[in-house]
């Protein structure tokens, strides 16, 4: 069998991380086994330990990658708005008349039915908060979650229309909580109401609110 090059090995490793980042957001970390993660990337279970020391190591790296996706999306949104390359994306009439600032657009996208219905490409904070809360202090999952959460707060504070740190923490807590509840409800009407109510409240409190 030909030897895999270092570049190819790194590509395989990144593919496993990317697929695992999607799976743990969709299914939860406990439901994603090593064979399942490797199979999702089109690789065999036998090669796992050439890339990762343990499942905990893989999950922590996948969670870090998932948070990095969200931060990159925030940065890209700022660039889109600066170049005039985006339209307001709040669900239905609720978004009409709201200011298309980076903060308002981020809220509209985050608190949307599209985000609710596609957790595999969504925010790791909402998808894995319960998993991280159950993990032991110092566990790789909890450590990676905390680091990602800090970065998410920092990114929210650095939007061109920023909130102070206390306001940013409150806003993100509301956003994550609303998204988790909307996903947990099997009543489509209630689910949509939760998202809309949080979006309206956060947009209203963001207008002219003094920095904390």
| Per-residue confidence (pLDDT) for residue 6, from 0 to 100 | 84
Q: What is the pTM of this model?
A: 0.85
pLDDT in tens, 174-198: 999 999 999 999 999 999 999 999 9
Residue-wise pLDDT for 146-158, tens only, equals 999 999 999 888 8
pLDDT by residue for the chain (212 residues), tens digit each? 456 688 888 999 999 999 999 999 999 999 999 999 999 999 988 889 889 999 999 999 999 999 999 999 888 888 887 776 555 555 643 444 455 678 888 899 999 999 999 999 999 999 999 999 999 999 999 999 999 999 999 988 888 776 788 988 999 999 999 999 999 999 999 999 999 999 999 988 655 444 43
Q: What residues does each domain of the chain span? A: 54-206
Q: What is the pLDDT of residue 75?
A: 86
**Third-level CATH fold of 54-206:** Tetracycline Repressor; domain 2 (1.10.357)
Per-residue pLDDT at 205: 63
In the prediction, which pLDDT does 162 show?
Answer: 64
SS (H, E, C) the chain: CCCCCHHHHHHHHHHHHHHHHHHHHHHCHHHCCHHHHHHHCCCCHHHHHHCCCCHHHHHHHHHHHHHHHHHHHHHHHHHHHHCCCCCCCCCHHHHCCCCCCHHHHHHHHHCCHHHHHCHHHCCHHHHHHHHHHHCCCCCHHHHHHHHHHHHHHHHHHCCCCCCCHHHHHHHHHHHHHHHHHHHHCCCHHHHHHHHHHHHHHHHHHHCCCCCC
């Amino acid at each position: 069998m030909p030897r895999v090059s270092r570049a190819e090995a790194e590509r395989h490793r990144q593919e496993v991380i990317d697929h695992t980042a999607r799976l743990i957001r969709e299914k939860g970390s406990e439901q994603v086994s090593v064979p399942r993660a490797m199979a999702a990337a089109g690789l065999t279970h036998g090669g796992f330990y050439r890339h990762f020391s343990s499942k905990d190591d893989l999950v922590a790296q996948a969670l870090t990658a998932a948070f990095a996706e969200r931060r990159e999306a925030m940065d890209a949104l700022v660039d889109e708005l600066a170049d005039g390359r985006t339209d307001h994306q709040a669900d239905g009439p609720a978004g009409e008349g709201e200011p298309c600032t980076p903060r308002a657009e981020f809220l509209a996208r985050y608190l949307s039915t599209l985000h609710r219905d596609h957790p595999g490409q969504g925010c790791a904070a909402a998808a894995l908060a319960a998993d991280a809360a159950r993990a032991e202090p110092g566990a790789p999952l909890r450590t990676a979650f905390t680091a990602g959460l800090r970065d998410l707060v920092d990114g929210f504070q650095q939007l061109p229309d920023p909130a102070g740190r206390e306001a940013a923490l409150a806003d993100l807590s509301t956003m994550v909580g609303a998204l988790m509840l909307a996903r947990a409800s099997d009543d489509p009407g209630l689910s949509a109401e939760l998202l809309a109510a949080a979006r309206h409240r956060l947009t209203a409190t963001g207008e002219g609110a003094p920095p904390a």
